[in-house]
Each structure stands twice: as C-alpha cells, then as structure tokens.
C-alpha cells in the first residue's frame, strides 16, 4: 500500500494480492457459517444444494454455493436474509423495486461502521477531505444514498451540505452562496443541474470542481456535457446497491481507468447471465456479489443484474484493490433484437463517438407484420445545425450496423425534447408486444 493510504484509518494494511485472498477466504468461511447457522432462508438453500459450511475450503468452492436473487428478498419481506436477532438491527433501508414489493435491507452497528469505512475510502480516492465542501443532492430517508454520502463525508472531515435531490432553485442557490467544490448526485441529476447552471449563466459564480455520481450508466457524451456545463475538472463514478450496503462499494481513482472495489468486504464474480458461468477474460457479464463481513443481511452470490467487465492487472495508482469497468447496463435491460443480444450501453458508446448530437436518446422497438424495427431518437447538440441531420443520421445507422450488426432507423430531434429525469432516465421502450 502507498504511504498515504496506510496512515488513514479507513485503509487496511494489505501487502499483496495473496493477503487479500486470504482475507477473502476467511470472510467467505465466516459468512457461509453465519448465514447457515442464523438464517432459516440460507439454511434451507444450502440444504437444498447439499452444502455444509465445512465444505468451503478455498475461494474456488464459492462456485458450489447457490445464488440469491431480488425475488428472494421480496419473498422474505419484510426482513429477508435476516441473520441476527432483530434487536441487533439498528437501521433499515429500502429501495423501491421496479416491480412489486419494496426491498428492505437491515444493518447492525458493525454493518454501519463497515459501510462508513469503505465509503470513506471512496471520498479519499476522489481527493475529498478536510476543507472540501460537498453538496449532497441524492435521496434521503429510506434511501441508502443520502445518509451514507453524508456520514462518510463527515467521517473524512469534509463539510456536508445535505440538500437532497430535486429543487433546482435551491441547488443553484447553494452552489452560488456556499460554493461547494464537490457535488454528489445521480448522472441524470448531474446533467439536469448542470444544464440549469448553464441556462442561468452562473458558471462563473459557482466553484464545482468534482462530481461524484452514482448508480447509473452514463455515456462519455453525457460526462463531457456535465463537466462543460459545470465548468468542472473531474468526474468520479461511485458504485453500490442497497442490497450491498448502499453506495460506496467502489469508485474510480484519479487515473479513471476502472472502478476499484473493496474486495476485503465482498467478492465480485462476473458471470454470463444466461449460463451463470464465468465470462472469458475482459468479457461483459453480470456482477454477482458475496459479502465477507455483513452481519444483518449477508449476501451469498447475489445476482445484482448490473453488467460490467473485469479489468486485469494492478492500477497505475498502486492500490491493491482490483477494478471493474463502469456499469454498462442491466442484464434486465439486455434485449434481443432480430436474434442479436444488445444492451443499451453499446448504443451509448456509439453515440458518444459522434459529433453534433447530445447525450440524450431513447430506443423504441416495434413490431410490424411480424418483423421487428428499432428506432433511435437522439437529440441534436444544443449548438448543432439541423442542416446536418440527414448526414449524422446516416453515419450513426452505419456505425450501429457495423458495431452491433443490426439495422436501426436513426432520427435526430431538437435539443431538450426528450424527457429528462432527476432519477434514472428510461432509455428503452419495447412496444413489440403492445397492441
């Protein structure tokens, strides 16, 4: 570890990859036996799979463990996976499922401490500490985001401005009056707020240098727009999901060559979402996580549905912690069009390479006379001239044909005409089974 890291309370002293693996093995053994002995849900799952805690002898044995899914959390409502007596639970959080019941997750005191510890590493990697002012524009209350961004911010000694999401007027006022140099929000909110800053012409009255944004896929074009509108210097991607504590599970370092994740707190597998076998080196797959220290609601091979790929080798920053790529979409969002598996992140990547269009687009799938059609609506760049629309449309169609091997109808629309959202923007509209 680097000198700087080991001096701070939230960085562990881990010498090399071997030591990290040993920590993982101990954590895995503990988790499996903790879950087996204290959770009726896990006990039954293990018994159905004919697995006993003592069968886990190496990290390689992870592959024999059964998967856990979002459905399991809903079936066990309200306290699924509970593995401690209820009086050890000091907090709950909840996320709205896109379908059906909410997911409720619970935390012991140790879980909360662990969460703050690794979240503090995220701020530290982003260079946030004493003297920094952090505008926290994410959801509070039942959501995991607000409180974790705030407690970790205070824990590293920075000033928290807990403003919450929405309310662009107040956001802008605080940006001008208190001059925070860091803002934390979702990518959609970052775009919305940065466009508002730009629209109001207050760029020279604010001081946003860094954006820490989470929980959403964000194209390079969207990143550029956010940085330019804020006149900011750096953008960090923070990962996390409610089931895995919440935000703070990983972040990119100043080299921005992938997201470091806290492998002393969880094991990450990247698996083919259909076969559930490991993908080849560097291939895209679903993130499957197993926690190593979580007490109240441990996760064992939890299918996150998030897609990414592993990045091999040690990062230039020297940090021992491994990396994965940005979140490239959700395996649920993966759609099959004329026999080809496509995820929206692939479309993002292509659109990001084209000049004259903005980051905002949507994909519409329709069926006519038994045949599938794809239309991609994309906003013209605010400075763009409609005279180039035809040419750009053709160019994008051609690139999609070449990269993804499908045909799509591309339409450029006026800037600002596609719906914006402060939460996650919906990109895909599949109307193929609509009447």
Q: By the criterion CB under 5 A, which residues form the site for Zn ion?
A: 253, 315, 317, 319
Measure the CA–CA gap between 210 and 126, rounded to whole angstroms. Answer: 8
Toward Zn ion, which CB reaches closer, 133 or 309?
309
Strand-pairing partners, residue 412, are: 378
Q: How near is the Cβ of 317 to Zn ion at its closest, in Å?
A: 3
Measure the CA–CA gap between 284 and 327, rounded to whole angstroms. Answer: 10
Toward Zn ion, which CB reaches closer, 174 or 261?
261
Listed residue (166, 172, 170) closest to 146, CA to CA: 166
Listed residue (314, 321, 324) closest to 285, CA to CA: 324
User: Sign of the CA dihedral 40, 42, 48, 52?
Assistant: negative
Q: How near is the Cβ of 253 to Zn ion at its closest, in Å?
A: 3
Q: How near is the Cβ of 252 to Zn ion at its closest, in Å?
A: 7
Toward Zn ion, which CB reaches closer, 64 or 255?
255
Toward Zn ion, which CB reaches closer, 5 or 295?
5
Helix (H, G, I), strand (E, B) or coil at 78: coil
Q: How near is the Cβ of 236 to Zn ion at its closest, in Å?
A: 11
Toward Zn ion, which CB reaches closer, 122 or 319?
319
Measure the CA–CA gap between 378 and 412, rounded to whole angstroms. Answer: 5
Match 């059906």 to its residue by tokens. 100
Q: How near is the Cβ of 53 to Zn ion at its closest, in Å?
A: 35
Q: Are 286 and 304 in contact (CB under 8 A)?
A: yes
Toward Zn ion, which CB reaches closer, 279 or 317?
317
Q: How near is the Cβ of 260 to Zn ion at its closest, in Å?
A: 6
The encoded tokens of residue 141 equal: 């209350």
Helix (H, G, I), strand (E, B) or coil at 355: coil
């Amino acid at each position: 570890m680097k000198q700087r890291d080991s001096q701070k309370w939230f960085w562990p002293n881990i010498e090399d990859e071997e030591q990290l693996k040993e920590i993982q093995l101990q954590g895995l053994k503990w988790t499996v036996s903790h879950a087996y002995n204290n959770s009726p849900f896990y006990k039954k799952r293990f018994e159905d799979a004919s697995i006993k805690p003592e069968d886990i002898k190496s990290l390689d044995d992870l592959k024999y463990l059964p998967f856990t899914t979002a459905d399991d959390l809903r079936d066990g409502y309200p306290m699924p996976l509970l593995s401690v007596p209820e009086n050890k639970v000091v907090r709950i959080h909840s996320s709205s499922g896109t379908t059906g019941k909410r997911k409720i997750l619970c935390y012991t005191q140790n879980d909360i401490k662990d969460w703050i510890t690794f979240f503090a590493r995220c701020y530290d990697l982003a260079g946030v500490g004493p003297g920094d002012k952090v505008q926290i524009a994410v959801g509070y209350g039942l959501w995991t985001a607000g409180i974790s961004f705030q407690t970790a911010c205070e824990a590293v000694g920075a000033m928290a401005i807990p403003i919450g999401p929405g309310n662009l007027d107040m956001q802008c006022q605080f940006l001008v009056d208190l001059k925070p140099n860091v803002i934390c929000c979702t990518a959609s909110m970052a775009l919305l707020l940065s466009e508002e800053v730009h629209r109001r012409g207050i760029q020279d009255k604010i001081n946003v240098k860094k954006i820490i944004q989470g929980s959403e896929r964000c194209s390079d074009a969207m990143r550029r727009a956010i940085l330019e509108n804020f006149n900011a210097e750096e953008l960090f991607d923070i990962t996390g999901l409610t089931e895995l504590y919440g935000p703070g599970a990983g972040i990119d370092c100043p080299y921005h060559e992938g997201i470091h994740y806290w492998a002393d707190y969880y094991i990450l597998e990247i698996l083919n979402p259909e076969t559930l076998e490991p993908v080849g080196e560097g291939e895209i797959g679903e993130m499957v996580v197993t926690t190593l220290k979580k007490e109240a609601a441990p996760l064992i091979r939890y299918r996150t549905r998030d897609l990414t790929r592993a990045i091999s080798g040690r990062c230039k920053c020297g940090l021992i912690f491994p990396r994965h790529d940005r979140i490239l979409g959700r395996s649920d969002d993966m759609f099959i069009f004329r026999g080809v598996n496509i995820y929206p992140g692939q479309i993002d990547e292509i659109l990001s390479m084209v000049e004259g269009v903005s980051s905002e687009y949507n994909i519409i799938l329709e069926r006519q006379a038994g045949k599938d059609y794809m239309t991609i609506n994309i906003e013209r760049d605010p400075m763009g001239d409609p005279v180039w629309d035809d040419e750009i449309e053709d160019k994008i169609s051609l690139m999609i044909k070449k990269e993804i091997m499908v045909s799509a109808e591309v339409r450029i629309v006026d800037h600002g005409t596609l719906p914006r959202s402060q939460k996650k923007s919906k990109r895909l509209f599949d109307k193929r089974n609509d009447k």
